Amino acid sequence: MKVNGKNYRTVWMEGKEVCLIDQTLLPFEFSIYRSQNYKETCHAIKTMMVRGAGAIGAAAGYAMAQASMEAPEKNCSGFISAARYEIQHTRPTAQNLFYATERVYEAAFISRTLAMEEAENIANEDAEASRKIGQYGNTLIKDGFRILTHCNAGWLAFVDYGTALSPIYAAHKAKKKIQVYVDETRPRGQGARLTAWELKNEGVRHKIVPDNAGAYLLSQCDVNMVIVGADRIAANGDVANKIGTFEKAIIAKEFNIPFYVAAPTSTIDVNCSTGKKIPIEQRDMNEVLYQTGMDKKNKLHEILVCSPGSKAINPAFDVTPAKYITGIITEKGIIHADEKSIFNLMNNK
């Protein structure tokens, strides 16, 4: 995607440095963070400088490649194994993180060069999968459609193109007139800050809506379809995605509005039987209690927005049962959210 006339990926590697767009500064500042070693890349993942299933996966793969290059000749395997453990404990929910780490970890025991190549392969595969998701998803979008999204599953959440937004970009490129309703996605505001920023850059018509306005929009028949991303898909079709997704799925089903999940097959965890077994990340309560914004003098401030002394809970994800999902848009096609469809897809049938 282009920013200020220049093509960017969300995360990439230059020599031994992992370069990534610092998403904690968007939409107020566009800045590239350069990670010098795998520990710094772990920090970037944990603090959400880089976030989104595919982008986390690519960053984790690059971190594993960095660890391979940093490993000393003496106790090389021990160093690489310790790094793998550290990378996989940065964030617990996104399947792509584990998928990428394992692939590069196995390559690292063959050679450092192969580890680098495998990390790059993962990033390229992620971008290509997202592009294909856009092609398949575009077939669902008619001219004049109004689409509701939740969180950010655009190119910032993947290496390029994105998942939930990829069909929207494809439809926009095909000259379809569409309107996107962008959930704020509190507490971190990935919709209001990131999705809206992406759509504005691409010239796609959109409006930011409060998270709790979704039911109103859906009840007024003002939405033709809902498209969201995924951080992990269980073998039975249950989907873990950003907190607040589940309630949108329930409401969409109540008003008979199609609810689609867009995700590459690398997000599917065939070893996880149901959504009940997906680990849900619990983040710092200060993300709920405090918000960062820009004042009229274009200065950023973090302020307390809740009652002083109150505590908060901050689950980062929820799980949407398969029965609420109309279909899953993948790079291999659109499937039903059920065990049989997923089994056939993963076995290329």
For the domain that residue 34 is a member of, what is the CATH number?
Answer: 1.20.120.420
Interatomic CA distance for residues 41 and 36, integer angstroms: 8
Asked whether residue 95 falls in the same domain as residue 240, the answer is no
Token pair 């039903």: residue: 336
The CA-CA-CA angle for residues 313, 316, 322, to 5°, reads 120
pLDDT of 230 higher than 70? yes
pLDDT of 349 higher than 70? no
pLDDT of 147 higher than 70? yes
- Among 95, 113, 130, residue at a domain's last position: 130
Token readout for 142 is: 């008619």
pLDDT band at 131 (very low <50, low <70, confident <90, very high): very high
Q: What is the pLDDT of residue 115?
A: 97
Q: Average model confidence (pLDDT) for the chain?
A: 96
44, 96, 117, 236, 348 from 273: Cα distances, Å: 30, 17, 32, 6, 19
Token readout for 300 is: 């950023």
- Among 81, 111, 130, residue at a domain's last position: 130
Q: What is the pLDDT of residue 297?
A: 87
Asked whether residue 53 falls in the same domain as residue 24, the answer is yes
pTM of the complete model: 0.94
Asked whether residue 243 falls in the same domain as residue 107, the answer is no
Neighbours of 65 (CB within 10 A): 30
pLDDT of 246 higher than 80? yes
Q: What is the pLDDT of residue 5?
A: 84
Asked whether residue 258 falls in the same domain as residue 187, the answer is yes
pLDDT of 270 higher than 90? yes
For the domain that residue 284 is a member of, what is the CATH number?
Answer: 3.40.50.10470
Token pair 């998803």: residue: 137
30-64 per-position pLDDT tens digit: 999 999 999 999 999 999 999 999 999 999 999 99
297-305 contact pairs (CB < 8 A, 24+): 298/28, 300/28, 300/29
The percent of residues above 70 in pLDDT, for the chain, comes to 100
DSSP 157-202: GSSSS-SSSHHHHHHHHTT---EEEEE--TTTTHIIIIIHHHHHHH
8-28 per-position pLDDT tens digit: 999 999 999 999 999 999 999
Q: Which of 160, 183, 231, 269 is catalytic?
A: 231
Q: What is the pLDDT of residue 177?
A: 97
Residue 103 belongs to what domain range? 2-130
290-329 per-position pLDDT tens digit: 999 988 888 889 999 999 999 999 999 999 999 999 999 9
pLDDT band at 281 (very low <50, low <70, confident <90, very high): very high
pLDDT of 129 higher than 60? yes
Asked whether residue 158 falls in the same domain as residue 295, the answer is yes
What strands lie across the sheet with 17-21, from one edge to the other?
A: 11-14, 17-21, 32-35
Asked whether residue 125 falls in the same domain as residue 161, the answer is no
19, 50, 129 from 55: Cα distances, Å: 12, 7, 13
Q: Taking each helix axis from N to C terminus, what angle separates 95-108 and 76-88, rounded to the nearest 10 degrees?
A: 170
Taking residues 334-339, report their average pLDDT: 96
Q: Is 231 a catalytic residue?
A: yes
Q: Which residue, 268, 272, 7, is CA-closest to 127? A: 7
175-218 per-position pLDDT tens digit: 999 999 999 999 999 999 999 999 999 999 999 999 999 999 99
Asked whether residue 126 falls in the same domain as residue 143, the answer is no
pLDDT of 251 higher than 90? yes
pLDDT of 233 higher than 70? yes
Taking residues 109-128, report their average pLDDT: 97
